[in-house]
Structure 1
Amino acid sequence: MTAAEVVVVGATAAGVCAAVAAAEHGAQVVLLAEGRHLGGMVSGGLGYTDVGDVRVLGGHAARFRRDVAAHYGVPVGRYAGPEPHVAEGIMRRWLEEAGVEVVLDAPVDGVERDGTRVTAVRTASGERVGAGVVVDASYEGDVLALAGVTTRVGREDRALHGERFAGRREIAPGRHSMPWGVSPFRDDASGEREGALIAQLAPGPMAEVGAGDGNVMSYGYRLCLTSGPDRIPFTEPDGYDPAYWELGRRYLAAGGADEPAGRWLGLEPNLPGGKCDANSLGPVSLSVLDGSARGWAEGSREQRADIAAHHARHALSFLWFLSSDPAVPRGIRDELARWGFAPDEFADTGHLPHQLYVREARRMVGEFVLTEHELRAGEVPGDTIALGSYHLDIREVQRSFITAWEHPDPRSHVVNEGYLSVRVPAYGIPYRALLPRAEEATNVLAAVCVSASHVAFSSVRMEPQYQMLGQAAGTAAALAVRGAGEVHAVDVGVLREALAGDGAVLRVV
């Protein structure tokens, strides 16, 4: 049996930072990676990283920015992020320098408990890893759930925390919204006669405005593309179904034809080497809005594999639709022909990223729940262990339809629901948000699926903040193992002093 003082589950950027921080503070550390890659979304396609106010980025988040700049020989901040393979290389070096034992291909599927303590985690291969303190740095919060920690998936009711932006959102116009006049009905482009729905709509009716419905932000793949001469052209994927993109054709007919290719994919060389981090910028995009993401958080590995494959098919078929469909304007098709997959990225996964963009899965319900109230007020509590600053950024949740009961012919129209972008001041993320309830688990910390509402999490979820949360969790874990191994007993003053000594920014200047 392997054993370690600190076991970090999940080789996301938060997991890497947690493992490195714990090791640098003297703990023996094992990092369990679900697959063969390190860095999560930071090395998995999310190169052009949202940061908010750079002045609040400290610790390992700032260190990462410095290392990126040093790699390319440019000033800090010249690039919002590196090429994916460079990001993974930096994180691999950090782990090696810190002396962290990394175990690849080690998804966790069980834990052993003694009262409120997790004494060991078990991998799918049957390996047992004894643990003093466990940091759950996965995007899914699997260890939290296995340990009996209360978690929540999806949107809460607006009344639960009294949050203005909670629950199902009102339908409103915007760049991420569908134009009026796109019929949801497969056999009737006018929207007048109800019938079977076209592809890419969520099943079932939407909840009432403000109601909690358990839905999560949509997922997708962030693609690394290039316009260089060595690009790998887009080709027709196996099983391509033109009917899947009837939504795209109807959007084009309703006004989407006036949008440039960049509004569909974000085609601009925003990464070093002339590469681009293709993003979801319009109402029809790489994001999948058919509700399939809802099954990810609590799904089995097999179910998650099916969901990931569905999203991969969506991404590949989207590229082919924009490249080849006669309904797509010639200008967009010509622009797509200038781009292709970067040959030196994700070669072992067919040039699709190794990480699905899981924007939100489980969220812990811990000792304290961070809500939109604290964020919008810019509160910085006394146990702050990192600062956040990115706006409330809820990506589209679902695609459905509504019926306009207008004389003489009522018509139904496709709508995208859930998008929200609201600025917030810099705010503090308290240590309490990393802690499960003491009666549930006393040696477990959350570094990603922290205790926050859906609305608050939409800001917390940015990767630089995950890096800082991971560093805080790893540092706290190392401090805990010096004592009785109980994370609730960590002296927050000592923790904050240690973080500040490592470059963390803990107050708003």
Structure 2
Amino acid sequence: MMKLRLLLILCLAVISAGVSAQSVREVDICVYGGSSAGVIAAYTAKKLNKTVLLIEPGKRLGGLTSGGLGYTDIGNKYAITGISRDFYRRIGTHYGKFEQWIFEPGVAERTFQEYIREAGVEVLYQHRLAGAQKTGGRITEIQLESSTGGAAKHSVIRAKMFIDCTYEGDLMAKAGVSYTVGREANAQYNETYNGVQLRNKHQFPDGVDPYKVPGKPESGLLWGISAEPMAEQGAGDKKVQAYNFRICLSNQPDNMIPITQPEGYDPARYELLLRVVEKTRPGNLNGILKFDLMPNHKTDINNNGAFSTDMIGMNYNYPEADYATREKITKEHELYNKGLLYFIGHDPRMPQHLRDAMLKWGYPKDEYQDFGNWSPQMYVREARRMVGAYVMTQANCEGKEVVKDGVGMAAYTMDSHNCQRIVQNGMVKNEGDVQIGGFGPYPISYRSIIPKAEDCENLLVPVCLSATHIAYGSIRMEPVFMVLAQSSATAAVAAIDHKTSVQKVDIAKLQRELTARPLASNRTAEILVDNDDATHVVKKGDWKQEKRGAYGPSFFQAEKGGQQGSVRFTPDVLRAGTYKVYTYVPKVPGLSSSTQITVFDGKKEQKVPYTAASVRVEGQTSGEWVELGSYAFGKGNKAYVEISNAGADGAIVADAVLFIPVEK
């Protein structure tokens, strides 16, 4: 009996030592992936008084937003709400503006760190997922390993709720949640722009020969061209749209590192570029690279044209690959992009004016200093996509199907980069590029960020959400990921508080919470009155309703010489106080040199005209907020802002008015 007791004590000691060696960490909410979405999800959960751990496999927070994509893809600012919008306001503060959508990588990274410090979020860097354990339909724990090969600080994380904020959907996959990779056939969801698409954007001009020796198929295909025959238009496949890097360069001499020949450089990889240049004869670098300028003499360079920074067809294995394979694919993309920049600037066959232009740029000394001045974040445009409780499709983008459980909005063009480079009729062609827009903001279903109940009950997926390839192309924008991350964290908190699953969260209550507490705090919420809000807007006179370039679905426009009229915006002020007032001015031709605006604070009127010269629209935004001053408003709906077309010498626009509380 004594031996049995000693054996039992010894076993318990071994088990205890094993658990200790595993270094178990327990929190309310575990966020995996330090992307822009990951930071906002963790910040939100902590602000809502939950214990949180944010796990980042690398060393840098912010994902692509801090990794080079500074020329923000928006679609419509109306879709960007809550803490996501606050992020771009904080960026604006850095640059001395109200909002800023064009920014340097380092500024974005420091802003994300600001959120982490403010909320006191614990971040575990350089740890990655090794496994996940699920019991009774719930993830009970995940296992981690060091990303660097050393010992893991915490090897087991237990949480009540998990949020997968990776671009790859790794936690989702480890948890056994249904997902897909590639393009659905159009027939699967009754779509038009999914599957194989041979179209005209970012396309080779006719006549570009695909063979090493022009006109001789027996010589073999040039690098990057597939011999695979193209499937029929609209057919599904497992091909993934191309990845690249959003490249930050500098042309400031004291902040430049010369672009040198990268390891493994092979000029034969860029032979196709020479053939394209010979056909198109670009006058500057914009004919090859999408050269968007950032503050302080920097760039956000993206793919442009038939042959550019997209490494087409070289990423098919990435979404489901192991870590070593992904690292290899990422390195190949880095070297391809660095080689392209070097080739443009140094290959004697390139036109002299393009070489000279390229040599004015170099890697920025003050960016990515821990990563050899090159972004550690490859642009993983699309990897796994969850097949969740609801699948967003083209019908949602186009407004043909409108969900009632929206917890965020999207507004960008249905956008896919090319998926393959092939031979068609003896000529080289790209296949897969789609750019179809013309629709307004639309809601994203809560059910699209949660798994099916039978798959998992305590996981939310705001990045690799449930959408078809072409719908995902519209949703997959960094600001939208941040919006959905806040919604995910808020839902996770609600599920914990009500001891329920993510599928049983009260959606109406969640929507009210996101509206009432847009910053996950008790600060007074700002008030937006949009022209499409018939309850709070009164229109007099002859105003046309325009859609393109609006904040939200539409804006009103009065032409010079039309019937005199006005548009009055009346806010419901729930808390008396001082508010800073802005009006949104869409970018329209022939804008009147001056617009007459009246602000009534409930006691007296003030005339506040603005001039067309004060409206400076930058980047991919459709308009700009113009400040009208600060005013003390009482509680209720007596105050208003009225836009008049009296005395106009051009077009007058009335779109939206914003009332932002001034915190004491």
Q: Tell me, yes or no, whether TM beats 0.5.
A: yes
Q: Which moved more, 1:378-387 or 1:272-281?
A: 378-387
Partner of 1:409: none
Q: State the alpha-carbon separation in 1 of the partners of residues 307 and 283 from structure 2.
A: 11
2:405 alignment counterpart? 383
Contact 1:378 1:425 in 2 (8 A): no
Equivalent residue for 1:18, pick from 41, 64, 72: 41
Residue among 147, 150, 158 paired with 2:178:
150
Task: Describe how 1:389-468 pairs up with structure 2 within 5 A.
Answer: 389-403=411-425, 412-423=426-437, 424-468=439-483
Q: Choose from 169, 183, 190 the match for 2:209.
A: 183
Q: Which amino acid aligns with 1:223?
A: I
Q: Mind listing any 5+ residue stretches in structure 1 that lack a counterpart?
A: 404-411
Matched with 2:143 is: 122
SS at match of 1:40: coil
Alpha-carbon distance change, 71 to 379 in structure 1, aligned in 2, over 3 angstroms: farther
Aligned partner of 1:301 among 312, 316, 323: 323
Of 491, 500, 525, which aligns to 1:476? 491
Task: Give the distance between the partners of 1:163 and 1:378, measured in 2 at CA.
Answer: 11
User: How far is 1:324 from its partner?
Assistant: 0.8
Distance 1:325 1:379, change over 3 A: same
**CA deviation profile, 1:186-215 (whole Å, cap 9, x unmatched):** 2x213x534421111235233222111111
Between the aligned partners of 1:462 and 1:418, the Cα distance in structure 2 is 19
- Contact conserved, 1:378 with 1:427, CA < 8 A, in 2? no
- Once the 2 structures are TM-superposed, how far is the Cα of residue 293 of structure 1 from its aligned partner? 1.1
- Aligned residue type for 1:102: V
Q: Distance in 2 between matches of 1:251 and 1:259?
A: 13
Q: Secondary structure at the match of 1:3?
A: strand
Give the letter aligned to residue 348 of structure 1. D
SS of structure 1 residue aligned to 2:296: helix
2:300 to 277, 281, 288: 277
Distance 2:276 2:297 in 1: 30
* Offset of residue 224 of structure 1: 0.5
| Of 116-125 and 366-375, the range deviating more from structure 2 | 116-125
CA-CA distance at 1:485 after TM superposition: 4.5
Equivalent residues in 2 for 1:210-221 (5 A)? 210-221=234-245
| Contact in 1 for aligned 2:199/2:434 (Cα 8 Å) | no
Measure the CA separation in 2 of the matches of 1:378 and 1:272. 40
* Counterpart check, 1:242 vs 2:267: yes
Q: Which among 326, 329, 333 is matched to residue 348 of structure 2?
A: 326
Q: In 2, are the aligned partners of 1:367 and 1:437 still within 8 Å (CA)?
A: yes
- C-alpha deviations, 1:95-126, integer Å up to 9, x for none? 12112111000111211111210011111235
Query: Which residue of 75, 83, 98 corresponds with 1:52?
Result: 75
User: What is the alpha-carbon distance in structure 2 between the residues aligned to residue 131 and residue 485 of structure 1?
Assistant: 14
- In 2, distance between residues paired with 1:468 and 1:75? 19
The letter for the 2-side match of 1:180 is D
1:173 aligned partner: 200
- Cα displacement string for residues 315-358 of structure 1 (whole angstroms, at most 9, x for unaligned residues): 11000110011221111111101111111111222221010000
Instruction: Give the Cα separation in 2 of the matches to 1:427 and 1:59.
Output: 16
In structure 2, what residue type is equivalent to 1:376? Answer: E
Other-structure match for 1:500 = 515
- What is the identity, as a one-letter code, of the residue corresponding to 1:80? W
Letter in structure 2 aligned against 1:274: H
CA distance in structure 1 between the aligned counterparts of 2:411 and 2:93, rounded to whole angstroms? 25
Question: Is the CA contact 1:359–1:461 (under 8 Å) kept in the aligned structure 2?
Answer: yes
75, 90, 97: which is aligned to 2:98?
Answer: 75
Q: Distance in 2 between matches of 1:327 and 1:189?
A: 17
Provide, for residues 41-91 of structure 1, a one-character-per-residue CA deviation record: whole Å limited to 9, x for no partner: 000111111111112211122101110011111232xx4232111111111
- TM-score, structure 1 length as denominator? 0.94
User: CA–CA distance in 2 between the matches of 1:392 and 1:355?
Assistant: 23
Among candidates 161, 179, 195, match of residue 133 of structure 1: 161
* C-alpha separation in 2, matches of 1:455 and 1:370: 9
Q: Distance in 1 between matches of 2:237 and 2:403?
A: 31
Q: Provide the C-alpha distance between the structure 1 equivalents of 2:194 and 2:199, rounded to a whole number of angstroms.
A: 15
Instruction: Indicate the SS of the match to 1:70.
Output: helix
Cα RMSD, aligned residues only: 1.7
1:25, 1:260 → 2: CA distance? 51
The equivalent residue for 1:486 is 501
Q: Aligned partners of 2:323 and 2:292: how far apart in 1?
A: 35
1-side partners of 2:227 and 2:296: how far apart? 42
Q: Distance in 2 between matches of 1:158 and 1:432?
A: 22
Q: Structure 1: which amino acid aligns with 2:410?
A: G
The answer to whether the Cα contact below 8 Å between 1:31 and 1:103 also exists between their aligned partners in 2 is yes
Give the C-alpha shift of residue 380 in structure 1.
4.2
Q: Give the count of matched residue pairs.
A: 492
Structure with more contact order per residue of length (Cα contacts < 8 Å, sep ≥ 6): 1
8 A contact 2:71–2:292 mirrored in 1? no
Contact persistence 1:390–1:459 (CA under 8 A): yes
- Counterparts of 1:268 and 1:304, CA distance in 2: 28
Alpha-carbon separation, structure 1, partners of 2:332 and 2:402: 41
Whichever residue aligns with residue 204 of structure 1, its letter is E
Displacement of 1:378 = 6.2
Partner of residue 637, structure 2: none
Equivalent residues of 2:259, 2:363 under 8 A apart? yes
Cα distance in 1, alignment partners of residues 386 and 217 from structure 2 = 44
The amino acid that maps onto 1:267 is F
Equivalent residue, structure 1, for 2:248: 224
Q: Percent identity?
A: 36
1:213 maps to a residue whose letter is D
Q: Is 1:345 aligned to 2:367, yes or no?
A: yes
Do the aligned partners of 2:290 and 2:304 also contact (CA within 8 Å) in 1? yes
Do the aligned residues in 2 keep the contact of 1:262 with 1:268 (CA within 8 Å)? no
Structure-2 change in CA distance of 1:29 and 1:266 (3 Å): same
1:98 to 119, 137, 156: 119
Q: Name the aligned partner's letter for residue 479 of structure 1.
A: A
Contact preservation (8 Å) 2:29, 2:52: yes
1:242-261 mapped onto 2 (5 Å cutoff): 242-253=267-278, 255-261=279-285
SS in 2 for 1:109: strand
Instruction: Note the C-alpha offset of 1:420.
Output: 1.0
Q: Which runs of 5+ in 2 are unaligned?
A: 1-23, 147-151, 520-527, 534-551, 554-664
In 2, the alpha carbon distance for the partners of 1:336 and 1:256 equals: 18
Q: Matched residues in 1 for 2:283 and 2:468: separation?
A: 35
> Would the aligned equivalents of 2:199 and 2:432 in 1 still touch at CA under 8 Å?
no
User: Residue 577 of structure 2 corresponds to which residue in structure 1?
Assistant: none
Deviates more, 1:356-365 or 1:370-379: 370-379
| Equivalent residue for 1:209, pick from 233, 254, 260 | 233
Which has a greater percent of strand?
2
The equivalent of 2:610 in structure 1 is none
